[in-house]
Chains A and B, each alone.
Chain A
Amino acid sequence: AQTVTQSQPEMSVQEAETVTLSCTYDTSESDYYLFWYKQPPSRQMILVIRQEAYKQQNATENRFSVNFQKAAKSFSLKISDSQLGDAAMYFCAYRSAYGNEKLTFGTGTRLTIIP
C-alpha cells in the first residue's frame, strides 16, 4: 500500500518570503499522480498543483511550484512571495494511475503567514 508522509506539522513564513513544504511517499508503482491541496479555515479542499510521475518537468502554477524527485520519492511544494491568503493546511496526496483512482493523503502541514 502507498503511504504519504509530511514531516512538518507546522511551518511559518514572513509575508513576501518563500517557503517550502516537504512531502515524501512510498510506492512500488512507476506511474502515478501527486497533488498538493490547500485547506483554509473554511475547510474547503482546494487543488493547488498536480504532477504526473512520467513527466520530468516540475509543475508550476503562478507562485506555486514543486520539486519532484522521483528516485527519492520526494514531492515538495514551494510557495514564493507568500501572501496572507496562503495561510492554511496543506495536504500532499498520492494517486495511482491504475485501479480505483483513490487518493492517499499525508497528515498535513499548517502554514502560518507572519505579516
Chain B
Amino acid sequence: DAGITQSPRHKVTETGTPVTLRCHQTENHRYMYWYRQDPGHGLRLIHYSYGVKDTDKGEVSDGYSVSRSKTEDFLLTLESATSSQTSVYFCAISAGGFSGNTIYFGEGSWLTVV
C-alpha cells in the first residue's frame, strides 16, 4: 500500500461541465502522475508533478489542467468535459529508497461523460 487515495472513485457528468479529480498521498513523495487508461492504448501520461507548484505535460494533456498546492495533493481538472474524456484515471507516485524508484498506483477513478 503506497498510501494513495483517489476521489471520487466513480463519477458521471455531462458534456461541458468542469470536473476535478483528486489524488492524495500520505508519504511525502516528490513525484506524482496522472494517467488515463483506454482500450487498446494501455496507460498514457496526462500530466505529472515534480514538486509543489511544479508540473509538466505528458503525452495526452490537451483538455486537462493540474495543480499541486501542497505535497500531498495533486488535482486533475477537466475544464469542459467531453465524451472523449470518458476513461479510467489513475494517479501514481514515484517511491525511491528501498522501493527502488518504483511507481505505485492508486485504485483508479472511473469517469463517464454523457
Contacts and interface: CB of A to CB of B under 8 A. Distances in A.
Partners in one complex: yes
Interface of A: 33, 35, 37, 42-45, 47, 50, 52, 91, 93, 95, 97, 100-108
Q: Which of B33, B56, B88, B103 has the most CB of A within 10 A?
A: B103
Interface residues on B, range: 20 to 34
Contacts, number: 55
Interface of B: 31, 33, 37, 40-45, 48, 50, 56, 58, 88, 90, 92, 94, 100-105, 107-108
Given A101-B94, A102-B45, A103-B43, A43 B58 contact: no
Contact of B102 (A44, A47, A108): A47
Nearest to A37: B105
A100 B43 contact: no
Contacts of B44: 105
Contacts of A103: 33, 43, 45, 92, 103
Given A44-B108, A100-B56, A107 B45 contact: no
Q: Which of B31, B44, B105 has the most CB of A within 10 A?
A: B105
A45 B1 CA distance: 11
A107 B48 contact: no
B102 A35 contact: yes
